[in-house]
Structures are given as structure tokens and as C-alpha cells.
Amino acid sequence: MFGRRKQTMRIDTLLGKAASLQGDLEFAGGLHLDGRINGNVRSSAADGGALSVSESGFIEGRVEVTNIVMNGTVNGDMVARERLVLGEKARVNGNVHYGVIEMASGAVITGKLIPLNSDGKSAPAPETQIESAATVAAAKSGA
């Protein structure tokens, strides 16, 4: 996007369009999904891990992977420890935690966008910070 060279993703595991997996999946390397997963999807943090979900790909569960390129549907929260790229057909019904996000026109997220700090932890929500400051001010004034 925007004149950058596309990086190729190494694919070690492929779940085809006719494949359906019931249960959680933990993987290393690269996973490409054209089919359906009913369960949580996770890559080992040490390996990095990359997930690509095609237009026909569907996940019902939580996704926690280092790098994600998505053009399918996820019903559940997503955590992209480093980078998340949402294509124009991407649909996410859940909260999205991300290091860096790139979103094409047409992608839909029904949930909150939550940036990750450099240590990989979710940054505190702004309303929490404001509420905490108001609580401290009220406590100091004796209210």
C-alpha cells in the first residue's frame, strides 16, 4: 500500500476452503486460512507467527498472532502483537488490539480499537485515565 513493496509471507500451514476445524489451534510460522475455524487461534510469540485469512476464511474465537493480514471474518477479539492489515472485505466483530494497523476502505470493525504499547500490553483507555484524574481531584478536595 502507498508505494511500498509487498512482503511475501511464508506459509507453513494451509487450511483450504473445504476445511473446517473444531477446537483451538496453536501454530508456528505462517498459517493461511481459506476455510473455517471454530476455536481460538494463537501463534507462539517466540516464533513471531503470521496469519493470513482470505475472503472465504472465517474464525469464531479469539485470535492472537504477531502479524495478521485479513480479508475474511472474525467473530471474537483479535490481538496483532506487531502488525494488522485489514483488506476491503475484512469483518471483525470484537475488540482489536494492535501494534500497527493498516485498514483498507470497506473493512469493518464492530468493537474497540486498542493500541498496544511497545511492550505488547494494551494501552490504558483514555476514559480510564480521565476518570482516574477526576477521582484523584475529588479525593484531594474532600468531596
CA dihedral 72, 46, 28, 89 (to 10 degrees): 10
- Separation between Cα atoms, residue 51 and residue 74, nearest integer Å: 12
| Residue 66: all three cell numbers together | 504477531
**In the chain, where are the structural domains located?**
13-141
Read off the pTM.
Answer: 0.78
pLDDT value of position 1: 44
Q: Rounded to an integer, what distance in angstroms lies between the CA atom of residue 125 and that of residue 141?
A: 25
d(CA 104, CA 34): 20
Give whole-number Cα distances, 123 to 51, 63, 91, 126, in Å.
Answer: 23, 19, 23, 9
**CA distances (Å), origin 81, targets 44, 65, 90, 115, 135:** 11, 6, 18, 10, 32
Residue 63 to residue 81: CA distance in whole angstroms: 11
Q: Which tens digits make up the pLDDT trace of 48-94? A: 899 999 999 999 999 999 999 999 999 999 999 999 999 999 999 99
The set of cell numbers assigned to 42 is: 494463537
**Residue 135 predicted with pLDDT over 60:** no
Query: How sure is the predictor about 129, in pLDDT bands with cuts at 50, 70 and 90?
Result: very low
